[in-house]
Structure 1
Amino acid sequence: MNDDDAARWAVRLGEGALTSTEEQALDDWLHADERRQGALLRAEAALAYLDRGRAMADTFVEAPKDDDSPVWTRRRFLIGGSTLAGLTAASVTGFILTRPAPIEIRTALGEIRRVPLPDGSVASVNTASDVAVVMVDKRRDVRLNDGEAWFQVAHDKNRPFVVEAGTVRVKAVGTAFSVRRRDDGADVLVTEGLVEVWVEGHENQRTQIAAGSKSFVAADAKPIEVASAGNMIDRALSWRTGELALNGESLDYAVAELNRYNARKIVIDTPALGRESLVGYFRVDQPEGFGQAIEATMAAKMSIQDNIIHLSR
């Protein structure tokens, strides 16, 4: 059934933009079985091949005399069972190999990568993140399985760029924004243009976020609140250059952020010390240097035991 359903979706996608109801139906169908993404890509490849070879198509199946619609003919080919099997096995194989494959971007602990995408967009991927990108004719789909990424999206109004982070969806056409996936939702920060956010199954609650604004989108579809990001945007995205920028955040916060990047963890043994605020720029890959700075400026003590940096007072 996956191949037949994939063929129907491929035909529908080729006809133009989906309605919001259809988008949800397609999303539900894809997520119900991990094999369906591959089935859809194969069906789209077959469809594209048929569009490029109408003469070959007519050799296999004669179009009905009362309907010579290209869409009907392509549907007949794609859902024709043995016809599709023979065509994809013999003729479409070469075409499939030329299509962009799904792009898997994974970063190790402490690794930060800047990755150009086939459509001209750029993804900056933070530490310990897992991103999957699928580019097809009518859409650009990104799944943020874990971690954080910032996207500079190439403008293409005919191919929306949609990031999926659990149940959270972020849609853009041409803009720049970051998404950080959390257990209970996702942080969204917009640096250029405009994005639309919603939670899967709650499309009627779509909310727009403009440049210079941020939002935490809860996975359980709580009302989405948008706030001004003010001058914290550059600090929030300083990880792209390997830095942690602080302007009054607590030591607890700083340590939690630094621990995302390093195998050598920092532990605060004095709770009151963790509540004190910090200002400054710190390298995310130098936890010991950070500890020394805290020792020097906050009257703290640093010790290293079992490869763990302890801060106390």
Structure 2
Amino acid sequence: MSAAHTGRRPQTAKEAASRWVIRRSGETLDAQAQAEFDAWYSADARHAEAYDRLSRLWRRMGEIDSGKLAPPRRARKRAAAASLALLAAAWPAWHLVQNTHPGADYTSGAGIRRVALPDGSSATLDAHSAIAIDFSADKREVRLLAGSALFAAAPRVAGGPAFTVVTVDASASALGTRYAVARGEEGTRVTVYEHRVAVQCLACAGSQALVLGPGDGAEVSAAGIVREGARRESEPDWSQGLLAFNDVALPDAAARLSRYTGKYILVLGDAAKSVRVSGTANIGDPKRALALLLAQTKVGITDLPGLLILR
């Protein structure tokens, strides 16, 4: 799908650099990917300049998050403040990377997006999610490219195709139903809220399939399909504008909440990182949500442009 067809503008050197920095920090590139990076890096001096600058910022972010900044002395405090300012300035680039999905028909930013599909079905996209659709007389397919989405499938007409959601790991075909599909680093999660869903493992060496009923869930990966315990909720909490935390480590809660704000949420210090939180948070106002979750703790919130610091 071309940029002209989708309305997306060509990728800038800074955007491409952001993608390479994050990709190279999170995985060891294979020979082909390394060759692609080398070709891109050497093709234009602006590429190298953008990559080197963002790479330095990324390393500095790691130092801040790992608590490697020196103890409080005046000069070191200034250095820490400067690093935090750089982090706040760089954060929009990381958000841009999160929301760049070639081939996507619909994406969501730091919020929930509801989409009406051509057959009368609907998709509710979690923050930083993306889908591509392929609908015709004999096909109703949604490809989940990133994140999570809740689907309400329109009834299947006689002789017509089933409504199917596809990821790299699995396909989930509605048997007249309402269900959620989420992509993660370890695989794909399918959760059924109404009726039934036929799940097939696409990443498995052999053929594996499972039919899930209301309240059922399953994790699908190259290792196979693992059925999860029954669920009581009628829909995922995020689709209702809420996040539920039950004795969750503060860094994990902050990471979940940061999906719904244009700000990076940074947890500093061992004391803050050891805090565990419980409660229900409104994702429409992450700062207020954090204040309520932290009301019984000594953790303070510092609000900076592009950045929330918890310490």
Please report the TM-score for the alignment, with normalisation by the length of structure 2: 0.60
Q: CA deviation at 1:199?
A: 2.5
Q: Give yes or no for the alignment of 1:240 onto 2:239.
A: yes
SS at match of 1:119: coil
Matched with 2:141 is 141
Whichever residue aligns with residue 163 of structure 1, its letter is: V
- 1:79-136 deviations in Å (ceiling 9; x for gaps): xxxxxxxxxxxxxxxxxxxxxxx9922212x231222222221111111221111222
Q: Which residue of 2 aligns with 1:127?
A: 127
Partner Cα distance (1:287, 1:201) in 2: 36
Instruction: Please tell me whether the aligned partners of residues 171 and 200 of structure 2 are also in contact (alpha carbons under 8 angstroms).
Output: yes
State the partner residue of 2:168: 166
Distance 2:277 2:213 in 1: 29
Count of matched residue pairs? 206
Tell me if structure 2 keeps the 8 A contact 1:128–1:147. Answer: yes
Indicate which of 180, 195, 198 corresponds to 2:197: 195
Q: Give 1:211's aligned residue.
A: 214
Superposed CA deviations along residues 237-295 of structure 1, whole A, max 9, x for unmatched, are 12113221223333233211111122212122234544544332212132321332244
**CA shift for structure 1 position 306:** 5.7
Query: Contact 1:187 / 1:216 at 8 angstroms: preserved in 2?
Result: yes
Measured in 2, the distance between the counterparts of 1:271 and 1:174 equals 49
Shift of 1:305: 4.8
Aligned to 2:259: 260
- Cα distance change on mapping 1:180 and 1:162 into 2, 3 Å: same
Secondary structure, in 3 states, of the residue corresponding to 2:261?
coil
Q: Which residue of 2 aligns with 1:176?
A: 178
CA distance in 1, matches of 2:171, 2:270: 37
State which drifts further: 201-210 or 123-132. Answer: 201-210
Contact 2:113–2:124 (CA under 8 A) maintained in structure 1: yes
**How big is the shift at 1:192?**
0.9
- Cα pair 1:113 1:125 within 8 Å, conserved: yes
Alpha-carbon distance in structure 1 between the residues aligned to 2:226 and 2:171: 15
Shift of 1:206: 1.0
| Local SS of the residue matching 1:127 | coil
Unaligned residue ranges in structure 1 (runs of 5+): 1-101
Pair 1:286 & 2:285 matched: yes
Structure 1 or 2, whichever has the larger Rg, is 1
Using CA pairs under 8 Å that are at least 6 residues apart, name the structure with larger relative contact order, 1 or 2: 2
**Does the CA contact (< 8 Å) of 2:106 and 2:131 recur in 1?**
yes
Partners of 1:296 and 1:201 lie apart in 2 by: 44
TM-score scaled by length of structure 1: 0.59
Tell me, which stretches of 5 or more residues in structure 2 are unaligned?
Answer: 1-102
Counterpart Cα distance in 1 of 2:238 and 2:303: 25
The match for 1:18 is none
Alpha carbons of structure 1 residues 201 and 296: separation in structure 2 relative to 1, 3 Å? closer
Instruction: State the one-letter code of the partner of 2:195.
Output: G
Contact 1:266 / 1:287 at 8 angstroms: preserved in 2? no
- Is the Cα contact below 8 Å between 2:115 and 2:124 reproduced in 1? yes
